[in-house]
């Protein structure tokens, strides 16, 4: 059943979100790290691109063990990023330009430096109940704490439980040891977090992104996982929908633009999260399509992307989310992913085509597109040559773990170089000057060496640049109702490396074809229509798709 006439689809489907990784976007004071004033100084750049909403990664007080996703105070500003006055000015300037601000809420865990956790460590029973603490076995000591409550693995490597000798308890940390999981079964915790939303709503914030939010509801019974790393027990947990509905209601955010990052989720769960009838979230991120180059599901190993699987995943999520009344967040890239053009394309021989193919593929789908800073420029993965150049805690941990598993140092580095989150965190390339215009100081993370040619200043002056192509796609989404809210159906592919689908609405039809290979591939046999967009300048062919070609034809 079609829901193409749903007004919500037109509203969400006409908007485009831009993600800023604050530490790497623009430095205003020369300390080598981006900040709030830096973002304010670049708002006109985003307006020119056609952006509607600006998602900013966490800028709250934090020890920065996970670059801000270890929050020690939800209602203040980390001094390295500025002051509350700086935020208020950013908010005023954004609203003056018609830009919404989307704040990043890390509600699955806090930093172990958060006041709540400090009080828990001091033995305060109220705050012990704020976290997932479990008593140790009798006789446990600091030297021999015994067996952890479960064998679950941390996302960053190692066991997911940490022993606290002074309490004779273990606490759960699904991520870094400095990120203690909150106990959402405690209604006081849920009220505290709803209060955080009310605080920022009162400051004019009108959009929210929720980090790994489908992990917040843990099972009552803790058990070992002998089939995986434990995620099947806590992903999309037993009370997740109940807790999200309560958070939205108490936080006063029902009807706002919201998105949940869903780790190892299911399609059925995401329909529930994003169907407006449930009053949970506006849309959902899922990451299944970004695992098609994980051999046997293993992130820290390498293989060529399986395009047939990619096509099947896109088809299922696009078509079934539409049928179920859900809504997709469309993306290739974020602060946790390597640059996608280097990953799914060939940036050595077909940099422009690879960068624009990916945008063509997702920007014409049903959902809300997200652009990650520098993606619109075609920024690539790093050209780092030493592990000492990396800063990401996950990458450094796995460089060690991979060698413990038997890889040589060079082999481990090759995996980290392809998979590291730092691949997407190098500073934004603004121009071809010193440090790419990002900072007058020493950048916190090294720049990619190709910034003299791949940068915003150069591309804004070139009507045929990657950025110009992104700008055109964004304009098309705002102009074409069939892109905003049309139904979606995936078509039988003419070749293994080709993804093809159609959008339809009120007699209009768009057919999109994308060649995910460096070789020519057969195209669908199509009659009539006109080229809506193509990433090749020459007249589009009808029988063949050229290397990394993305094209769309429309019938009106």
Q: Which of 261, 353, 422, 487 is catalytic?
A: 261
CB under 8 Å to 490, separation ≥6 — which residues? 311, 314, 315, 318, 319, 499, 500, 501
Burial 238-272 (b: 16+ CB within 10 A, else e): eebbebbebbbeebebeebbbbbbbbbbebebbbb
Q: Are the beta carbons of 76 and 60 closer than 8 angstroms?
A: yes
Q: How far apart are CA 352 and CA 550, in angstroms?
A: 11
**Number of C-beta neighbours around residue 75 at 10 A:** 13
Residue 473 tokens, joined: 């796609």
Q: Which of 545, 428, 543, 531 is nearest to 472 (CA)?
A: 531
**Number of C-beta neighbours around residue 301 at 10 A:** 15
Q: Which of 343, 366, 368, 367 is nearest to 355 (CA)?
A: 343
**Number of C-beta neighbours around residue 98 at 10 A:** 10
Tell me the H-state helices in 73-186.
84-96, 115-121, 125-128
Give kind and range of the element (H or E) at residue 550. Answer: strand 550-555
Q: Which of 211, 236, 293, 353 is catalytic?
A: 211
**Cα–Cα separations (whole angstroms), residue 373 to 18, 24, 30, 429:** 7, 9, 20, 9
Q: How far apart are CA 8 and CA 11, in angstroms?
A: 5
Respond yes or no: is residue 306 known to be catalytic.
no
**Number of C-beta neighbours around residue 384 at 10 A:** 20
3-class secondary-structure state, position 269: helix
Q: Are the beta carbons of 532 and 553 closer than 8 angstroms?
A: yes
Residue 327 tokens, joined: 């809504």
Residue 303 tokens, joined: 């293989």
Q: How far apart are CA 477 and CA 485, in angstroms?
A: 10
Listing DSSP states for 311-338 in one string gives HHHHHHHHHHHHHHT--BEE-S--TTS-
Respond yes or no: is residue 530 known to be catalytic.
no
Hunting for tokens 């800023």 — which residue is that?
Answer: 20
Q: Where are the beta strands (DSSP E) in 416-549?
A: 487-490, 498-505, 508-515, 521-522, 530-534, 544-545
Q: Which of 445, 449, 387, 448 is nearest to 417 (CA)?
A: 387
Active site residues: 211, 261
């Amino acid at each position: 059943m079609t829901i193409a006439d749903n007004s919500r689809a037109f509203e969400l489907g006409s908007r485009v979100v831009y993600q800023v990784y604050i530490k790497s976007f623009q430095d205003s004071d020369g300390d080598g790290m981006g900040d709030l004033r830096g973002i304010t100084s670049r708002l006109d750049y985003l307006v020119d691109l056609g952006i509607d909403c600006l998602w900013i990664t966490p800028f709250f007080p934090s020890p920065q063990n996970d670059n801000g996703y270890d929050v020690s105070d939800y209602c203040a500003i980390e001094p390295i990023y500025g002051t509350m006055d700086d935020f208020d000015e950013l908010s005023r300037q954004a609203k003056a330009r018609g830009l919404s601000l989307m704040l990043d809420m890390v509600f699955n865990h806090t930093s172990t430096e958060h006041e709540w956790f400090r009080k828990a460590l001091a033995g305060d029973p109220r705050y012990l109940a704020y976290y997932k603490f479990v008593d140790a076995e009798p006789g446990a000591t600091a030297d021999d704490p015994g067996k952890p409550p479960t064998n679950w693995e941390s996302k960053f490597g190692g066991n997911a439980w940490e022993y606290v000798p002074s309490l004779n308890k273990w606490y759960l940390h699904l991520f870094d040891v400095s990120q203690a999981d909150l106990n959402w079964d405690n209604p006081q915790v849920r009220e505290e977090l709803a209060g955080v939303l009310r605080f920022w709503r009162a400051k004019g914030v009108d959009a929210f992104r929720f980090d790994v939010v489908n992990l917040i509801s843990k099972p009552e019974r803790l058990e070992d996982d002998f089939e995986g790393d434990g995620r099947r027990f806590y992903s999309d947990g037993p009370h997740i929908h109940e807790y999200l509905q309560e958070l939205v209601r108490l936080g006063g955010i029902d009807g706002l633009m919201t998105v949940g990052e869903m780790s190892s989720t299911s399609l059925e769960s995401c329909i529930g999260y994003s169907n407006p009838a449930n009053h949970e979230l506006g849309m959902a991120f899922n990451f299944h399509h970004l695992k098609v180059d994980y051999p046997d599901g293993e992130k820290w190993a390498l293989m060529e992307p399986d395009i047939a699987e990619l096509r099947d995943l896109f088809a299922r999520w696009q078509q079934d989310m539409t049928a179920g009344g859900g809504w997709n967040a469309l993306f290739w890239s974020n602060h946790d992913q390597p640059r996608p053009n280097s990953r799914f394309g060939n940036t050595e021989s077909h940099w422009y085509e690879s960068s624009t193919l990916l945008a063509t593929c997702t920007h014409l789908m049903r959902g809300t597109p997200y652009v990650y800073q520098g993606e619109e420029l075609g920024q690539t993965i790093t050209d780092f040559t030493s592990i000492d150049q990396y800063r990401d805690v996950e990458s450094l941990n796995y460089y060690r773990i991979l060698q413990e598993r038997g890889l040589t140092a060079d082999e481990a580095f090759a995996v980290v170089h392809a998979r590291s989150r730092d691949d997407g965190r190098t500073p934004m390339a603004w121009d071809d000057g010193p440090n790419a215009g990002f900072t007058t100081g020493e950048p916190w993370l090294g720049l990619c060496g190709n910034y003299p040619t791949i940068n915003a200043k150069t591309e804004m002056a070139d009507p045929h640049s990657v950025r110009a192509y992104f700008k055109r796609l964004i304009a098309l989404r705002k102009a074409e109702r069939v892109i905003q809210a049309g139904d979606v159906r995936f078509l039988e592919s003419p070749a293994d490396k080709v993804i093809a689908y159609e959008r339809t609405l009120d007699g209009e039809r768009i057919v999109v074809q994308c060649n995910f290979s460096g070789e020519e591939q057969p195209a669908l046999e199509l009659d009539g229509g006109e080229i809506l967009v193509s990433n090749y300048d020459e007249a589009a062919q009808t029988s063949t798709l050229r290397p990394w070609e993305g094209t769309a034809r429309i019938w009106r």
